[in-house]
Amino acid sequence: MLSGIDYFIVIAYLAGIMLLGLYFRKFVHSSQDFFLAGKMLPFWAIGMSIVATDIGALDFVGLAGNAYEYGIAVANFDWLGSVPAMLLAAFVFVPYFWRAGFYTIPEYMGRRYNDHVRAAVSVIWLIFFAFDLGVVFWATGLLLQELMNWPIWLSVLVTAGVVGLYTICGGLTAVVMTDAVQMIIMFVGGGAVVATGFWRVGGWSGLVDKVTALGPAYQNHFELILPTTTDTPFPWTGILFGLTFVMANAYMIGNQAIVQRCLAAKNEWHAKASMIFGAFLKMFIPLLTVFPGLMALVLLKTPVEKGDEAFPSLIRTMLPAGMKGLLFAAFLAGLMSTIDSLLNSGATLWTKDVYERFIRKDATDAHYLRVGRIVTAALLLFGVVATPVTGKFDTLYEAIQTYLSFFQGPLFSLLLLGIFWKRATQWGAMVGFVGGLVISVSFFLLKGNLFTIESPFLYISWWSFVIATALNIVVSLRTTPPPPESLHGLVYGLGGDPKTNGVTRSPEC
């Protein structure tokens, strides 16, 4: 339970972050201000916002829990996963997206392929964002119930009210600037746990000696690369093919909630630098999220039944009053930064890719601004309603990875072939994307008969990517290629102004 000083820290944080977010309302005068912050964001704020969006309380709990059970190999989700993908995004994909003046990643799909592909990708991301909100709200409810004895529904409503208010009012500017503050809070709170833990276990050498002394089952806990023969969901094959090649790239290059910040940079240099700076910050994340799971093996007197219980148990037994409140504020910062990003990016997808493109093409800018705010509120409501669905999964981490594994492979296939292969056609893209989705869902439903590990999401992502790519190539080679002039500025190595290229293509193209 929290003490008086802990309650004060948490309440002060909630009030402060809401006031900070509301302050940026005065900068929102147009739809571009709301969705892209007027394209005036500096690289350091974008980089911090990307990290805050990607890393939240789910990662503190989930990654620490996986480290408790399987060891340091889970750090590869940042070191071998995110960092290379972010550098690829910085030097190849983001410059193309920024120069074209895109609002969304599906907008690139529309110009590169056709409007049907654009709509399909937008709808998939919208569905994911909506249910992902439910996951994050559920995590918030569990956290507040555990530490403050609040009912889950009350916790969800309080969080939704605070985040929803400043996101609806301040748009992307409020989201990015509050994320930057929340990232600092996460680093300070997480760093306090790690520093205290290392002091208690006797430093790095003490941690290694005490964990390996627990028995043969813990000898691989400090191995970054695990063989396929070990009983783990993170063998080297899954990490290399599923994570490094597919999931990380799809997430950092094709995720609207991540890339939208780069599109709001004040110039192309800041757009590139934001991803590079974010990659630098991401290298420190395993220190904050993975190492506490290893420390829990040593410091907890009673082993926990599930890995997800390791981090909360460590906090209850190790941290004094005041530091608990600081870490709790860090947890809330992670949760809230994820929520505000999902809300703003989801509203951008619906308004720009669906509403403006297919429903109301000639409305005023003030109308689109109003629609963006309405959709933000609607997504917020849906996320609250969808919260109980998450309770049907064994862990929060499993819920997120299950949702992502359905479409990450096909999505990355679309992006990769679209920007590097000028022969890819609109029909190849559609068949590849839909076929990849069908394959990934089928693999998930049949996973017990196809895979030997309990959570095969890494392999599902890899094989759905391979099959989607093969389908795209085969169909593209058998259909008419797109006219060369339509690819200028959209395919790597082809110059020209992508803003002059059309979006809708006729069936005979």
Over the stretch 373-400, which tens digit does the pLDDT of each residue have?
999 999 988 888 877 766 555 556 666 7
Cα 129 to Cα 308: distance, rounded to the nearest angstrom: 23
Rounded to 5 degrees, what are φ and ψ at 425?
A: -110, 170
Cα 457 to Cα 406: distance, rounded to the nearest angstrom: 9
Q: What tokens appear for 227 in the block?
A: 């063989």
CA-nearest of 134, 129, 126, 159 to 384 is: 134
Whether the per-residue pLDDT at 369 is higher than 70: the answer is yes
- Percentage of the chain lying above the pLDDT 90 cut: 34
Give the pLDDT of residue 268.
94
Biggest alpha carbon–alpha carbon distance for the chain: 69
- Percentage of the chain lying above the pLDDT 70 cut: 90
Q: What residues contact residue 120 under an 8 Å CB cut-off, 6+ apart?
A: 430, 433, 434
Whether the per-residue pLDDT at 455 is higher than 70: the answer is no
Cα 226 to Cα 220: distance, rounded to the nearest angstrom: 8
* Cβ–Cβ under 8 Å, residues 494 and 487: yes
Q: Per-residue pLDDT tens for 93-123?
A: 998 899 888 999 999 999 999 999 999 999 9
Whether the per-residue pLDDT at 509 is higher than 50: the answer is no
Q: List, as one string, the DSSP characters of 334-402.
A: HHHHHHHHHHHHHHHIIIIIIIIIII-SS--HHHHHHHHHHHHHHHHHHHHHTHHHHTTSS-HHHHHHH
Q: What tokens appear for 405 in the block?
A: 């594994």
Cα 231 to Cα 212: distance, rounded to the nearest angstrom: 17
At 508, the pLDDT band (50, 70, 90 cuts) reads: very low
Give the pLDDT of residue 364.
93
Q: Per-residue pLDDT tens for 124-138?
A: 888 888 888 887 787
Whether the per-residue pLDDT at 272 is higher than 80: the answer is yes
Q: Per-residue pLDDT tens for 178-233?
A: 888 888 888 888 888 899 889 999 999 999 999 888 888 788 888 888 777 666 77
At 506, the pLDDT band (50, 70, 90 cuts) reads: very low
Give the pLDDT of residue 470.
96
Q: Per-residue pLDDT tens for 413-442?
A: 999 999 999 999 999 999 999 999 999 888
Other Cβ atoms within 10 Å of 468 Cβ, number:
30
pTM of the model: 0.85
Report whether CATH 1.20.1730.10 matches the domain 4-393: yes
Q: Per-residue pLDDT tens for 15-65?
A: 888 888 888 888 898 999 999 998 999 999 999 999 988 877 677 777 888
Give the pLDDT of residue 507.
46
Give the pLDDT of residue 109.
92
Residues 468-473, mean pLDDT to the nearest whole number: 96
Cα 78 to Cα 462: distance, rounded to the nearest angstrom: 18
Q: What tokens appear for 94 in the block?
A: 């983001």
At 146, the pLDDT band (50, 70, 90 cuts) reads: low
Cα 483 to Cα 440: distance, rounded to the nearest angstrom: 32
Q: Per-residue pLDDT tens for 292-310?
A: 989 999 888 778 777 777 8
Look at 395 and 445; give whichever has higher pLDDT.
Answer: 445
Cα 487 to Cα 104: distance, rounded to the nearest angstrom: 18
Cα 265 to Cα 172: distance, rounded to the nearest angstrom: 11
Q: Give the start-to-end residue ranges of the domains of the chain.
A: 4-393
Q: What tokens appear for 482 in the block?
A: 């797109």
Look at 436 and 459; give whichever has higher pLDDT.
Answer: 436
Give the pLDDT of residue 264.
94
